[in-house]
Structure 1
Amino acid sequence: MKRIVLEPLFLHAELVSALLGRNRVRRSSPASLRETVEGALSDSAPTAYELAEMLGEALPQLNIHELQRIFHEGSLRVGTLVAIEQEFTFARDRSLEGPGSSPMRFTAPMSTDADVHVHGIFNAERLAAASTAGNLVGEREVFVLGTIVRHSGRSIEIRPSFIGIRSYVKDDLDALFGVSEPLRVYPSEIDQFSGVDFATPCTPSELQALHHTSEDEVKRSIAALIGEPFVAKDWGGEKSDLYTSRTSIRGNHVASAWLFKGPGANGPMTVRTLGKRGDQIDRLYSEPADLLVLQHYREIATAVVNMMSVYAHQMSRPRKFMILDGEDTAKILRAIAV
């Protein structure tokens, strides 16, 4: 079971303390967590690092969704607590400075929708440490937890409770040494693909041959390579095109669900090619799988990769994901001489 470790850069102690209050932690939370939270909030004020540790433990029970996901679901609401992890640009707003107030703005296009502007403002006086100021200058990839205070058209403003680094770790030792477990898996890490030469680029003729190979043939070829003998027929209500428990990543068996997009989908894969509001990704992640795979015959846009990552980082159940574009698909077919 992966756990979340948070390194605070900015933390609003009152907002985080309210979030950790006994009414916000589900009854299913471990007793030790509830006792730790209640004890810390009733005694002397905990430090930013202590609050961040408790927040990391509580996040899987708090049912907080990633902002990009609820945007595509059409469920943005003022007052909703959301999370977003991506690159932002940070800058001091000296026009608003005053006694005890050092406003700092953060802004960025949303990673899945470049025409959507995500922004907010916070008081740099609440940085976790004096040395943190240098870490929040210019562009920086961070994890932001905050409340939607307004949204209109293509603009979303967030009041942050926490800004920092989110890591998924396997155990206390990894947490101690800062070893984060990446959620993205690359095709070369799949044991069943060990015989595939991913280093040598495909020739134009090999890529052209892929475009004349049916989606069903690609699916069955990959299933055979994995060792999955049961391939269900396509039907309208399917959540994935292939489900198997025979995949392994560096010797560890995992259940995987695969979504294949055939040659009929022209051009690069975008979020719009994955159904209304990208709901095919939503259905894929409803499968009881530990690895979710998205395959396409051509290029897969960065926004789609980011959307897969957003779903993979769902804090109540983080999972691994893999992207298989046309180049890598052709390399696999080349290895098995399809």
Structure 2
Amino acid sequence: MKALRFHAAKDLRLEDIDEPAPPGPGQVLIRNSFCGICGTDLHEYAYGPIFIPTEPHPFTGASGPQVLGHEFGGVVQAVGEGVSHVAPGDRVSVQPLIMPRSGDYYADRGLFHLSDRLALAGLSWGSGGMAQMALLNDYNVVPIPDDLPDEAVALIEPAAVAVYACDRGGVTAGSSVLVTGAGPIGVLTLMAARAAGAVQLFVSDPNETRLALVRDLIPGAVTLNPTRQQVGNVIRAATEGGVGCDVAIECVGNEHALKACLDAVRKQGVVVQTGLHPHENPLDWFAVTFKDVDIRGSWAYPTHYWNRVARMIAGGQLPAASVVTDRIALSDAVTQGFDRLLDPAGTQLKILIDLSR
């Protein structure tokens, strides 16, 4: 079968590899339909290996070369012994987190995403979404509602990141929210915040093309360019009492973006760190103390979010498909996908790989 595999930084290869083995007990074989290109995939391509293990992963045993893609889904082809929640022909989305299911401090408490032995399909597992087929554990495969379009199988994963970030921030009816970073996760976070009841939405990004997309996708959101405006001053002037926003969510992994969040949030507000920072980030800890703020990490999502997020997308509360700006074939994934998304002045927001092409 055709698969896009990571070998080293700037070395992705479209290769013919063996199809996965028939599913064993507790496993499911799917034919992939759509796969999203995530910021994590872009970082691996540009600078990796980062999450892709160079030695066998301690839980899965996986190491490079690695089939990429963790935002994906497809149609069940076969199931192994003991699998009863899906059957051949079912459309499914893949929840890509792979970890011990018991005997682990966090797994025993249902916090599977926090396991110290965590792996991910498409990064540290034998299969990934950028291939024609994938072999997964039964708990990774979630049936989707009949009214959810096929391409939405690849959008539940990034949407779950966004919903969890808003939950971590305590976004609720009437909230004012700043999101720094107008990439796919940032835009989905704005949508999730609105779905949670936020009434004032602000987004900061230096890319004017992406800010224009936000204005089209989320009417009423205030777009800010930090190279031209002082984000905190604008938000204080626009919020009740001139105090700043209730919640600020960093979605890009940028030092200046996090500092802007701390500056813009009100006293006793909440700053949520969602983007992955490549190195230590100095922060004004006097301001953290003086403003009495909470700073919270937001790592991935609890695995039980899948059906909730799927319902939000299917019901229109979270119009995730609107972030998709192009759909491409697997054979074009490097030049028309990865390279275009890494262009700082690019016009693309979210690109899906259509595995049927």
TM-score of the alignment, normalized to the shorter chain, above 0.5: no
Q: Larger % of strand: which?
A: 1
TM-score, normalising length from structure 1? 0.29
TM-score, normalising length from structure 2? 0.28
